[in-house]
Each structure stands twice: as structure tokens, then as C-alpha cells.
Amino acid sequence: MSTEDPAPTPHDPSAVRRPRRRRWRAALVATLAVLLPLGGATAWALDRFVVEHVEIADVTAYEASQSADADGTSDHGTTADDSAGASAETTTGAATVDGDTYTSDGTSITVSRVTTGSGDDTVTYYVADVVLSDMTDLRSAFAQDAFGTNITETTSDLAADHDAVLAINGDYYGFRDTGIVIRNGVVYRDEGAREGLALYRDGHVEVYDETSTDAHSLVDAGVWNTLSFGPALVEDGEVVAGIDDVEVDTNVGNHSIQGEQPRTAVGMVDANHLVLVVVDGRQAGYSRGVTMTELAGILLGLGATTAYNIDGGGSSTLYFDGEVVNSPSQGRERGTSDVLYVADGA
């Protein structure tokens, strides 16, 4: 990677990859099953955090079945149980990778590593500067090609499944049952609850209040993907005030998102020009992580006029050209419910 203030990274990409079988989940299921006789609370925990609840078992087939207008907009915004518009994934032209840069027709991606500070104040983060030929080249994928809760797969396995040249973890929609979830032009969930991010087919992005609209209207307005996590970091070219006091999903099972943490964020520089940032953390001497305000400052410094925080902590992962390039905080990838990716040849 291109590096400012280079420092050796402690991770070995080959060591990050793990077999697709989630042995930790099987072990957790077995442990909780033994504890079930202890009472209803254990049964609740098993159902809430471990048991997969599948609503759509074959997302690829589902999206392929949806109708679309000739101009690529959906016939109507619907929930996952009905029809909605979706564009088929396509591959065009020759693609090349030259070091840290990928090019394919009108799409280019450059990945760089930045290291600042020293000692316990060291911060290391990775930036994917992405110029898309079209916003629909940035796609979303669900773990195990299924939609529901507690369904997980690592970012690298999801990337491999979809022949991605670049991928980052998404918003971990599968941890909750609220929010507006629109992916690849299809509505999967319409339960507005928080501040979301909408990525439009015309190349721009907007922060919006999920509770003041609905998924059908967003699709009709041209939304291609939504993210439901937050908070917004940058709006109208300025750092959003008070973000170090915001909590997201503070229900049982969630931890504070404040303090110095590993982070993942999406920023828009211009139409079809995005910056995807993954900050490593919880690794003394390599990267302490950053606060929300520090994360906003990073995005602003990269030229983002709008930026939004998504799932972080152990989930924060950046995959490029066949490997995980950052150092996940748990020493390995953590399974996640979804990714954003650019397919090789897009």
C-alpha cells in the first residue's frame, strides 16, 4: 500500500483468512444449548444472537426475478415479499491491477495506508479512493446469499463469492430488525428507526431521516443502496456537531460506539466518487483507533462533502485484490451480515 509515515503492520493477510465454516458459532450454539435448562434468558440469548432467522433463502434468485424499467429504475418500491427493481450485475471491458490501483473502463480504485502519530498514539487507517463509472457498480451482498438475522460470513469470503476486487464490511443489518434496507435497488426491510445513508443511481449520496419517509418512496426517487447505522459524520462539507455523544442501537447486546475504536465509513467526494475508510484499532503501538470526531476529520481531509459511519469494531475490514489489507482488531476477520463491493471487471 501507499503509506504515509510507514510503520510495519502486524498482520499477515494469509493468517486472516479462515475456513468458511464458522466453528465459533457451532461452539457457541453447543454451549448455549447446554445452558438452556438454566432458564428463559438463555433461550432468549440463543435465539437473539445465534440462531439464524432466514427470510429470503436465495437472494440472487430473488433479485434476478425482479422486474425493472428500461431506464433501470424500479417499477415500484416494495418490501422483500413483493417485486422491486434491480439491475443485473454485469462485467465489461478489461481490468488491470497495477500495485495499489485497479482500473476497468470508467472505474478506478486506489488503496493506500496512512499512519499518523507514534507509540500509544499511533493511528493506522486504509483508504479506498473509488471512482465509479456508475453508482450501480457499487453493489451489496448478503452473507450466505440469504436475507435475515444472525446470518454471517467473512468479508473476504463474501468478496470471493462475488468476484469482488474491493469490498468492505457493511452496516451489519442482520444484527437488528429495524431500519430501511434497500440493496441493489431492491427493498428488503422498511422499518425506519434512525439516521440513514442513501446512495442514489445518479451518483450522489444523502443522509436522511428513516422515520420521515419509506423505502418505496426512496426506490422511486432513485435510491440504489441504503445503509442504516450512523451517525452522519460530515454534511455539506462540515463535521457534524455532537457526534461524540451519539449512541446507536444501545439495546442489550450492543456496546458503546464512542471512544477510540476501529471504524468503517463511507464518504462522497463528488458524484460517483467515493472514499471508503477502514481504521484499525485496539492494537497498541500499531493503531489505537479513533473517535467519531477524528473519523469525521479523516473523511473531511479526503475531500468528502458527505460521510457516514457504519459498523466498526471487530467488523472493520477492507479487502482488495484477493486479500484483507487491514488488521482486524480480533486478530482475524469477524463474520458480518453484509458487504459493499465492486466486482472485478465492473
DSSP states along 125-156: EEEEEEE-SSGGGEEEEEGGG-EEES--B-HH
What is the reported pLDDT for 340?
Answer: 98
Rounded to the nearest 10 degrees, the angle between the axes of helix 23-35 and helix 40-49 is 160
Beta bridge partners of 252: none
The per-residue pLDDT for 196 is 98
Dist. CA 25–CA 245, nearest whole Å: 33
Do residues 32 and 42 make contact, with C-beta atoms less than 8 angstroms apart?
Answer: yes
Residue with the three cell numbers 432458564 = 39
For cell 426475478, what's the residue? 65
Q: What is the pLDDT of residue 250?
A: 55
The continuous run of DSSP H or E covering 102 comes out as strand 101-104
Q: Is 237 left (phi over 0), alpha (psi -120 to 50) or beta?
A: left
What does the alpha-carbon distance between residue 56 and residue 258 come to, in Å, rounded to a whole number?
Answer: 33
pLDDT attached to residue 159: 98
CA atoms within a 13 Å half-sphere pointing along the CA-CB vector of 324: 30
- The H or E element that residue 226 is part of is strand 223-227
d(CA 144, CA 154): 10
- Residue 70 DSSP class: T
Residues in the chain predicted with pLDDT less than 50, given as ranges, are 2-19, 21, 68-92
State how far Cα 63 lies from the chain centre.
19
Residues 133 and 198 sit within 8 Å (Cβ to Cβ): no
Q: What is the pLDDT of residues 231-258, one digit of tens each?
A: 999 999 999 999 998 877 655 555 568 8
Residue that the C-alpha cell 462522497 belongs to: 268
Q: Which 8-state DSSP code applies to residue 51?
A: S
> What phi, psi does 63 have (nearest 5°)?
-65, -35
How many CB atoms lie under 10 A from the CB of residue 171? Answer: 29
C-alpha span between 323 and 51 (Å, rounded): 29
Determine the pLDDT at residue 64: 87
| Paired sense of beta strands 107-116 and 2-4, if any | parallel
Q: How far is the C-alpha of 269 from the C-alpha of 274, rounded, in Å?
A: 6
Q: What phi and psi, each to the nearest 5 degrees, are found at residue 39?
A: 145, 175
